[in-house]
Each structure stands twice: as C-alpha cells, then as structure tokens.
C-alpha cells in the first residue's frame, strides 16, 4: 500500500475550493493523470475517468463515497489492476482554504511490480497537480 499526503493553503474561501473540487470533471484541468472525466448519467456521485499513470492507462469509475459540504470528500476507484482512495479535507485558514489531500493506493497483480516506481513519482506528481489547482483557483 502506498499512502501519500500533501497540503497547501489556497487563497480562496473554503466553499469555492470545495465546489471546484467536488465537480470531478474539473480534474482534467489540473490533474495531469486524468485525461477525461465525465459524470455517469443518473449517478451524480460517479465519474467515468481515463487515468494515465505513465506505465499504464485505465478507464475506470471514480465514486464519491463520502461528501460533507465544505469539509470532506472521499472518493475511490476499484479496478483489476489497482485500488485507490482519495481524501480531500477542507479547513478554513483566516478566510482561505487549507486543503489536505491523502491518496491511498494499492497496486494489484502484475502492476504490483511497479510499486517502487509509482511511490517515487506519486508525491511529486500530486504536488504538481495541487500547484496547478492552486494557480487556477487563485487567478
């Protein structure tokens, strides 16, 4: 299991940051691993995503498991090659948003062999994505 946590203060109010992240279709704008994201018809808590992790590409369902407005989003993806859960925590920081993102990933089968490579690159990629998100929301 690989667990990675990153955090930053985004100079926007919590409700604005929460709303932007809650719409998972926005992930293509700031997450370099997500090449497509669309809400599944008749299920606003599920998104069909194309994920490019460099060593492999997947089209999977990303499901919002838990949503507490302006506080928490927990979303997960389960496939034959991997399982991951993302936890987004939102806290007010003097009118700005302190965002903490924790990713828990488990690679399965043949893909488990690439765990060391994924672990090395995941934190830097997550920070790049967070910096892109921050730039979008603060501009």
78-114 pLDDT tens trace: 988 889 999 999 999 999 999 999 999 998 887 777 6
Main-chain dihedrals φ then ψ at residue 118, nearest 5 degrees: -65, -45
Domains of the chain, each with CATH number or no CATH: 2-138 (3.30.530.20)
Q: Model pTM?
A: 0.92
Q: What is the mean pLDDT of residues 32-55?
A: 91
Question: Is 38 a residue whose pLDDT tops 80?
Answer: yes
């Amino acid at each position: 299991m690989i667990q990675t946590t990153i955090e930053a203060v985004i100079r926007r109010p919590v409700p604005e940051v929460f709303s932007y992240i809650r719409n998972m279709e926005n992930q293509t704008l700031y997450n370099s691993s997500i090449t497509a994201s669309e809400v599944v018809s008749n299920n606003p808590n599920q998104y069909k995503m194309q994920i490019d992790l460099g060593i492999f590409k997947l089209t999977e369902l990303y499901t919002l498991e838990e949503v507490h407005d302006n506080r928490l989003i927990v979303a997960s993806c389960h496939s034959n090659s991997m399982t991951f859960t993302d936890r987004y925590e939102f806290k007010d920081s003097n009118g700005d948003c302190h965002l903490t993102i924790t990713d828990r990933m488990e690679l399965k089968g043949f893909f488990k062999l690439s765990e060391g490579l994924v672990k090395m690159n995941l934190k830097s990629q997550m920070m790049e994505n967070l910096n892109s998100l921050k730039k979008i929301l603060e501009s």
